[in-house]
Amino acid sequence: MRKFIVSIVALASILTAQAERIESPSGNVSVDFELSPSGEPVYSMKYNDKEIIKPSKLGYELKGNSNLREGFKLIKTSTSSFDETWEPVWGEVKEIRNNYNELLAELEQTSTGRKMNIRFRVYDDGMGLRYEFPQQKNLVYFTVKEEHTQFAMTGDHIAWWIPGDYDTQEYDYTESRLSEISKYHDSAVSSNASQTLFSPTGVQTALQMKTDDGIYINIHEAALVDYSCMHLNLDEKNLVFESWLTPDAEGYKGRLQTPCHSPWRTVLVSDDARKILASHLILNLNEPCKIEDTSWIKPVKYMGVWWEMITGKGSWSYTNELPSVKLDACDYSSLKPNGTHSANNDNVKRYIDFASEHGFDQLLIEGWNIGWEDWFGNQKDYVFDFVTPYPDFDIKELNEYAHSKGIRLMMHHETSSSSRNYERHLEEAYRLMNKYGYNSVKSGYVGNMLPYGEHHYGQWMNNHYLYCITEAAKHKIMVNAHEAVRPTGLCRTYPNLIGNESARGTEYQAFGGSKTFHTTVLPFTRLQGGPMDYTPGIFEMNISKINPNNNSHANVTIANQLSLYCTMYSPLQMAADLPENYERFMDAFQFIKDVPVDWDNSIYLEAEPGKYVTVARKEKGTNNWFVGSTTGNAPHKSFISLDFLDKDKKYIATIYSDTKDTDYKLNPQAYKIVKGLVDYKTKLKINTVEAGGYAISIFEVNDKSEMKGLKRLSSSPIK
Ligand code: NOJ
Ligand code: CA
């Protein structure tokens, strides 16, 4: 990670209790900080002189009836400026500018002598604030009862939210006024497998809002390390959000030791929704990369022996018999095979052949290891050992076969949420991966957390996830953790965290379907903290065609699925459907083959939460561009200019779009492909349907003969 420009200017002053203002580099965002007459820390935020966050209190309630909420005096404030440009190991863009002005307010609680500092970083697209606790005699170990960070809203904004829950984010979003969150809470919950709800006005972050005068506000957190994940709980009458941390098994919200600090609490703001999507504020608030040699970290396009299990056609388990002895003592070849085990040698080879023929990097195989038959229905400490294959999965031969065909296998570790069991086996499991040449693992945390009482998003588990990532780095292994805590930009510091699920993924299209606007909300919410392994690429929407006993319908069109490879940014992208479904639509599949997974530049062309997201991305190291436009809950007339193309170059574009007859329910497989010449002057009008979209590949012409027979695309090729 190279630093180009660094400039730090610092000013310090000893102050009496008066309001301090800090402005962003261009002055459009400002934050005011002061102590109330009773010594409570209070901040507010403005955007172009308009109030975004009304005066809001900051502080903590601690175990043992003490608090860090009031009675503070201001010891000192200091300001500084920072401007640096850094290169991510992988990403949406080649270079990221980190430019902010900072205010550090150093506070002391008069009655206890305890010190607590608040640091603000103000950017042109928002701000971050965090609490810092210096090393001190009067505060060494402390237990948090609750963090009380307020975000006082200025009006009854529209919000795109999912219910607060300590254990799952796999919800459909609800769009409502803030004052209606409790009204819609039950219906928001009912469509999902809820785990641990706590309040009818609790929501998860990143929370996207829009004011009546068209300002987009987004609240999330950055750099969640050794701390519990923040939810927001709304005081519906006063429209004030307050932080609500995930508790531990005893109900406490954090065990801290000074010196320490909280994660950043972030607020993005813009009058242009595209700027919310293009923001790098959350990555910027994370520490620079801590992995010295990153040469082994590579974006991955993959297929999987997976969708057939998710749809219920195949099984993860080799057998339906329960072993009568402990798993590692069990001779699996003595158990009766159930005949539906997908991870068998022949089937895996079939997928390897297809994935390698079409240029994929990897093939994920789930259900390769013993324990699945024992896990279903059982919540217990010891289920998986992560090293013993079922008898019909020849780990050595299959890896050799894959390598001989130029691809790798991707490891799968379903932990069954027994995190201690996973930690006990981790080293051996990673060594097995090294031995056979796996360099990436999809891990998962399905079910209630073990040890009992801990939650998926608590401090204890957050430390577990990071432990797995840092141990994996020692083995040069990339991690894609499902059901783990929602990302907060840690992939900047640990770029081997190549993906997370941590939201409602494509799998729900096989569990009954998702709302049509889902993937036009996720870029504003879940993707703010880091890439999602959304697993797009479904070409057969009628799931009963795969498994006659599954009547689910994927509420999307084929063109919509192609668009997601651009709009749902991830360095890890799956083509999730079965090879036989792709074989029926090879011309559309071509886009999945062509689209890269790493970029030099990204330009958001159109965006509105719930409605549409259109982005153009430039492939890493080439002059090729790829455009994706995803449509939400209403048809969209997209109008884009290709003025981002080089003026002196010619390009061949292939547009994959909905047709006028496409319908996500009744005719989802109707699409149109148009190929022609484009340049920087080309303007395109493309109409899409609800849950539809389009994708465009734009290849630089290297040899004039490629242009033969192709016409210049007119401004409206697709009606
Ligand atoms: C849930 C994950 O999201 C899914 O991808 C995986 O196949 C199952 N858990 C089993 O681990
Ligand atoms: Ca999941």
- Choose which residue among 414, 441, 534 to substitute to test ligand 1 binding: the one with the highest number of ligand atoms within 8 A of its C-beta: 414
For residue 716, is pLDDT > 70?
no
- The span from the CA of 600 to the CA of 95, in Å, is 8
Q: Mean per-residue pLDDT for 420-432? A: 97
- The span from the CA of 160 to the CA of 178, in Å, is 9
Evaluate whether 79 touches 66 at the Cβ level (below 8 Å): no
Q: Say which residues have a Cβ less than 8 Å from residue 321's Cβ, sequence separation at least 6.
A: 335, 336, 373
Answer yes or no: 236 catalytic. Answer: no
Residue 619 host element (H or E): strand 612-619
- Choose which residue among 342, 384, 411, 507 to substitute to test ligand 1 binding: the one with the highest number of ligand atoms within 8 A of its C-beta: 507
User: Cα-flanking dihedrals φ and ψ of residue 480, to 5°?
Assistant: -130, 95
If we measure between CA atoms, which residue out of 561, 594, 599 comes closest to residue 577? 561
Q: Which atom of ligand 1 is nearest to the CA of 501?
A: 3
For residue 15, is pLDDT > 60?
no
Instruction: Note the pLDDT tens digit of each residue in 313-323.
Output: 999 999 999 88
Q: Categorize the per-residue pLDDT at 18 as very low, low, confident or very high, splitting at 50, 70 and 90.
A: low
**Distance, CA 505 to ligand 2 centroid (Å)?**
7
Q: What is the mean pLDDT of the chain?
A: 95
- Choose which residue among 171, 446, 502 to substitute to test ligand 1 binding: the one with the highest number of ligand atoms within 8 A of its C-beta: 446
For residue 25, is pLDDT > 90?
yes
Q: Say which residues have a Cβ less than 8 Å from residue 458's Cβ, sequence separation at least 6.
A: 166, 228, 229, 246, 247, 248, 449
Q: Categorize the per-residue pLDDT at 404 as very low, low, confident or very high, splitting at 50, 70 and 90.
A: very high
Bridge partners (DSSP) listed for residue 245? 230
**Distance, CA 616 to ligand 2 centroid (Å)?**
28
Q: Say which residues have a Cβ less than 8 Å from residue 322's Cβ, sequence separation at least 6.
A: 373, 374
Evaluate whether 106 touches 74 at the Cβ level (below 8 Å): yes
Name the maximum alpha-carbon separation found in the chain. 82
Architecture category of domain 2-284 in CATH: Distorted Sandwich (2.70)
* Cα angle value 600/606/607 (rounded, 5°): 105
CA-atom Rg of the chain in angstroms: 26
The DSSP code sequence of 12-23 is: EE---S--EEEE
Q: Which atom of ligand 1 is nearest to the CA of 482?
A: 3
Q: Which ligand minimizes its atom distance to the CA of 414?
A: 1
Q: Say which residues have a Cβ less than 8 Å from residue 467's Cβ, sequence separation at least 6.
A: 423
Instruction: Note the pLDDT tens digit of each residue in 304-356.
Output: 999 999 999 999 999 999 887 877 788 999 999 999 999 999 999 999 999 99
pLDDT of 329? 83
Catalytic residue among 507, 540, 619, 690: 507
Q: Which ligand minimizes its atom distance to the CA of 364?
A: 1
For residue 691, is pLDDT > 80?
yes
> Angle 419-436/459-474 helices, nearest 10 degrees?
20
If we measure between CA atoms, which residue out of 411, 316, 304 comes closest to residue 363? 304
pLDDT of 409? 99
Q: Which atom of ligand 1 is nearest to the CA of 306?
A: 7
> How many other C-beta atoms can be found within 10 angstroms of the C-beta atom of residue 551?
10
Q: Categorize the per-residue pLDDT at 550 as very low, low, confident or very high, splitting at 50, 70 and 90.
A: very high
For residue 4, is pLDDT > 80?
no
> Before 579, cis peptide (omega within 30)?
no
**Distance, CA 315 to ligand 2 centroid (Å)?**
16
Evaluate whether 589 touches 358 at the Cβ level (below 8 Å): yes
Which residues in the chain are classed under CATH 2.70.98.10? 2-284
pLDDT of 139? 97
pLDDT of 194? 73
pLDDT of 375? 84
pLDDT of 380? 76
Q: Which ligand minimizes its atom distance to the CA of 192?
A: 2
For residue 93, is pLDDT > 90?
yes
**Distance, CA 442 to ligand 2 centroid (Å)?**
11
What residues are in contact with ligand 1 under a 6 Å CB criterion?
306, 366, 414, 444, 446, 482, 501, 505, 507
pLDDT of 327? 77
Written as one letter, the residue type at 462 is: N
Q: Mean per-residue pLDDT for 114-125? A: 98
The DSSP code sequence of 480-523 is: EESSSPPP-SGGGT-TTEEEE--S--GGGGGTT---TTHHHHGG
Instruction: Note the pLDDT tens digit of each residue in 360-399.
Output: 999 999 999 999 998 866 677 778 999 999 999 999 999 9
Q: Which ligand minimizes its atom distance to the CA of 167?
A: 2
Q: Mean per-residue pLDDT for 255-265? A: 98
Bridge pairing between strands 362-365 and 408-414: parallel
Bridge partners (DSSP) listed for residue 136? 139
* φ/ψ bin of 309: left (φ > 0), alpha (ψ from -120 to 50), beta (otherwise): alpha
Q: How far is CA 341 from CA 116, 317, 366, 699, in A?
A: 57, 6, 10, 41
Bridge partners (DSSP) listed for residue 35? 41
Q: How far is CA 256 from CA 139, 222, 460, 564, in A?
A: 10, 18, 12, 40
Percent of the residues in the chain that have a pLDDT greater than 90, as a whole number: 91
Q: Categorize the per-residue pLDDT at 141 as very low, low, confident or very high, splitting at 50, 70 and 90.
A: very high
Q: Mean per-residue pLDDT for 467-478? A: 98
Residue 547 host element (H or E): none
End-to-end Cα separation, the chain, in angstroms? 46
Which residues in the chain are classed under CATH 3.20.20.70? 300-502
Instruction: Note the pLDDT tens digit of each residue in 661-675.
Output: 999 999 999 999 999
Architecture category of domain 300-502 in CATH: Alpha-Beta Barrel (3.20)
Evaluate whether 596 touches 91 at the Cβ level (below 8 Å): no
- The span from the CA of 181 to the CA of 178, in Å, is 6
Lowest mean pLDDT among 2-16, 86-100, 361-375, 542-556: 2-16
Tokens 């991966």 belong to which residue?
433
Instruction: Note the pLDDT tens digit of each residue in 154-205.
Output: 999 999 999 999 999 999 999 999 999 999 999 999 767 678 888 999 999 9
pLDDT of 326? 77
Tokens 């509105």 belong to which residue?
608
pLDDT of 218? 99
**Distance, CA 441 to ligand 1 centroid (Å)?**
13
For residue 6, is pLDDT > 80?
no
For residue 543, is pLDDT > 70?
yes
Q: Mean per-residue pLDDT for 192-220? A: 93
Buried b (16+ CB within 10 A) or exposed e, 225-248: bbbbbbbbbbebeebbbbbbbbbb
For residue 428, is pLDDT > 50?
yes
Percent of the residues in the chain that have a pLDDT greater than 70, as a whole number: 96
If we measure between CA atoms, which residue out of 518, 412, 680, 430 comes closest to residue 160? 518
pLDDT of 502? 97
Tokens 């069991």 belong to which residue?
421
Q: Which atom of ligand 1 is nearest to the CA of 316?
A: 10
pTM of structure: 0.96
pLDDT of 252? 98
For residue 274, is pLDDT > 80?
yes
> How many other C-beta atoms can be found within 10 angstroms of the C-beta atom of residue 617?
26
